[in-house]
A and B are shown apart, each in its own frame.
Chain A
Amino acid sequence: MEVKLQVENEILDKIKHTFHSAEVSIPRKQRVEVKLRNDLIHPFLAYLKDTLGFKHLSHISTVDWLEEKEIELVYIVMNYDNLVEVIAKIRLDREKPEIPTLREFWPQVETYEREIHEMYGVNFLGHGNLTDFILEDWEGIPPMRRDFDTVKYAKETYFNRPGREDAQDVRTTITKKSGEEIPELAKVYSVRHLE
C-alpha cells in the first residue's frame, strides 16, 4: 500500500511543507484532500497550478452546512502528468460569505462563480460579472441554500393558481377515481404529507 501511494505522499509532503496550517489526507489512490484556511485558497491554488502542475480544474462545488453556519467551497483540480486529483476545501461564514475571485486562474471559473453567487449567495470580490446565469431576476434567499423551502415556494408559485384547485396531486385524483387507499408506505413521500 505504501509503495502504491508514493506520488500521493510526495504531493502531501510538498503541501504540508509549504502550507503548515493545512490539514492534508489521502482518502484513496489518486486523491489528496486538503482543508485550508480561507485566506490561503489563492496562494494554494496558484502553488498547485504553477509549481506542481495541476492545470485542469475539474469543478467547483458548494455545500451548505446550515447547522454549522458555514458554506463550504470545494475545488477539485487535477494533474495530467501524475493523474492525481486534489480536493481543496474552505469554509466561509454563512452570514456574509465573501472571497476574492479566482477568475484569473482559469477562464471557466467565471461561470462557476456566477452560478455559486446565484444559488448560494457567495460574493466573489472583483469578479465584475456576477450577473444572472440560470435564474432570472431572483429575489429572496438563494434557492440552493438549505433553509430555502421548496415546497412552500412551489405552493405559492404553482399550486394555488386559479384553474389548479385540485393542487395537482395525482395520487388523490387516482384514489378518488378508483376508490383505492394510498398505501402507508407511499404516504411518507406524498406531497400531501408534507403540508
Chain B
Amino acid sequence: MREKETTIYLGPQHPGITGNMMVKLKVTGDTIVRAETHVGYLHRAFEKLMEARTWLQCFPIVCRICVPEPDPNEENLSRVIEEIEGREVPERAKYIRVLVLELSRLATYLLWMGGQSGSMGLYTMPQWTVGDRDYILDLFEQLTGGRVYHMYIWPGGVRRDLPEGFGDKVLKVMDYLEKRLKDYDDLLFNNALFYKRAKGVGVIDKNKAQEWGVVGAPLRGCGIKHDVRIDEPYEVYDKLNFIVPTYEGGDVWARAMVRRQEFEQSISIVRQVIENMPGGDFYNKIPNPLNWRVPPGDAYVKTESARGEFGYYAVSDGSLKPRRVHARGPAYVHGVSLLERILQGANIADVSFIMNSLGTCPPEIER
C-alpha cells in the first residue's frame, strides 16, 4: 500500500516549540518530506519602535528580543553606540559586563538542558535545571534589580557597581553548579538513552555549515572551531583563559556535548573575572540622556551568545534617535532556512528535539 502524504501543523502553541511559531510539516508515515516555518505570532516591531525613541529608551526594548538570553542584546547595543561615538569604557565595567554575559550564558544553558531533555521525555532534568537557574536569577536580582530582564549594561559602562560581598555569592553559586554538573552528567550527558536518541539526528553537513550560516554550538558541533570571543575579542575576553570545545558529527549529541563543555568553561571564566576584578570607575558618564546626540555613522558589532553569533548593526544620523538598529540573531538562520533543511527526512518525534538543539528563538526572528 502506498503511504499517503499528510500535512501536520506543529504550533504556534505547542509544548515542544520554543516560543510561538509554527512548523508546517508534510509527512508520509512518520517521516517528514518537507518542512516550512511560519513566523509572525510574536512580531512587536521592535526595530521600528526604536526609530521613534531616544538611544537610551531603546534599552528596555532590546532585552525583550530574546527572552531566555537578554544580556547579549544590551551589551551589543551599548557597544555599537560606543563604537559609533568613540566612547571609552572603564576596565571595571568591562569585567562586570563579562561577568553578566557569562552568568547569562550559564542560565541559558540550564534552560536549554531542561528543554532538550524535556523534548525527549526526560522530565527530571527540567525540574532540576530550572530550579538551579533560579540561583543565577537571584544573583541578577541583587545586582540589577531584575530577574530576567536586567537593563543593566548601558553605553559607557554599567548602571551600578557590584554590591558588597557579591563576588563571594557568585563563587558559592559556581561551586554549587560545578557539583550539580555531575548529576546532570549522570542523568543526561552520560545517559545511554540520550546517546542513542541524539546520535545521528538532525545532522548538519560539515562542508556546508559555514555557507548555510550556521554559528555557535551547532557550528562547533560540526568540528569547526569558531567563537566570536576568540575571533574578535570584545570586552576583556582576550585577557581570560578558556578553551573552545569542538565535537565531530554535527548531530544533536555533538551540539549537546559542546554546550556541556562550554558550561564548564563559563564557570571557569566567571571565577577568573571575580579573581581579577579591577577597582575604579564602573561608568563613563554620558551627557544629559534626553538631549544626547550620537554622531553620524554606522557600526556592526557582535557577541558570542549561548546560541551563536549575535550582532547589532546600527546607523546614526546625528539626531536624538537612531536611524536604524538591526538585530541579527542566530535563530534567524537556524530557525528558518536551516531548520527547514535538516527536518527533511527526520522523524515527527524529533522536530522539537532538533529545534531545541539549534536554539530556535522566535522573538529573535521577528524582532
Contact = CB atoms under 8 A, between A and B. Distances in A.
B20 to A, nearest CB: 12
A146 B51 CA distance: 9
B366 A107 contact: no
Interface string A52-89: 00011111011110000000001010001001010100
A10 B192 CA distance: 51
A59 B39 contact: no
Contacts of A62: 324, 326
Interface in B227-264: 231-232
B290 interface: yes
A57 B49 CA distance: 26
Contact of A61 (B49, B83, B232, B313): B313
B210 A58 contact: no
A150 interface: yes
B338 to A, nearest CB: 8
A136 interface: yes
Contact of B323 (A56, A63, A110, A132): A63
Contacts of B337: 107-108, 110-111
Given A83-B231, A87-B300, A135-B43, A55 B326 contact: no
B299 interface: yes
Given A63-B315, A76-B300, A87-B300, A106 B211 contact: yes
A128 B328 CA distance: 24
Contact of B40 (A31, A134, A143, A188): A134
- If over half of B's interface residues share one DSSP class (helix, strand or loop), that class is named, otherwise mixed; here it is mixed
A74 B43 contact: no
Interface in A101-145: 106-108, 110-111, 132-136, 143-144
Given A61-B313, A144-B47, A144-B48, A106 B213 contact: yes
A183 interface: no
Interface string A25-65: 00110110000000000000000000000011111011110
Contacts of A30: 232
Interface residues of B, number: 41
A185 interface: yes
A57 B300 CA distance: 13
Given A74-B313, A150-B52, A185-B290, A61 B43 contact: no
Given A108-B333, A134-B366, A150 B48 contact: yes
A122 B39 CA distance: 20
Nearest to B215: A56
A149 to B, nearest CB: 10
Tell me which of A30, A74, A136 has the highest count of chain B C-beta atoms within 10 A of its own C-beta: A74
A52 B180 CA distance: 46
B85 to A, nearest CB: 13
A58 B328 contact: yes
Tell me which of A30, A59, A144, A189 has the highest count of chain B C-beta atoms within 10 A of its own C-beta: A59
Contact of B212 (A61, A107, A134): A107
A58 B311 contact: yes
Interface of B: 39-40, 43, 45, 47-49, 51-53, 57, 83, 210-213, 215, 224, 226, 231-232, 290, 298-300, 302, 309, 311, 313, 315, 323-324, 326, 328, 332-333, 336-338, 341, 366
23 contacts: A27-B299, A56-B211, A56-B215, A58-B300, A59-B313, A59-B332, A61-B328, A74-B313, A76-B311, A76-B313, A83-B232, A106-B213, A108-B333, A108-B337, A111-B332, A111-B337, A134-B40, A134-B43, A144-B47, A144-B48, A150-B48, A150-B52, A189-B53
The 4 residue pairs across chains A and B that have the minimum distance between CB atoms = A59-B328, A61-B326, A108-B337, A134-B40
Interface of A: 27-28, 30-31, 55-59, 61-64, 74, 76, 80, 83, 85, 87, 106-108, 110-111, 132-136, 143-144, 146, 148, 150, 185, 188-189
Given A58-B328, A64-B324, A133-B40, 16 more contacts: A28-B83, A56-B215, A58-B302, A61-B324, A74-B313, A76-B311, A76-B313, A83-B231, A106-B213, A107-B213, A108-B212, A108-B333, A110-B337, A111-B336, A134-B43, A188-B290
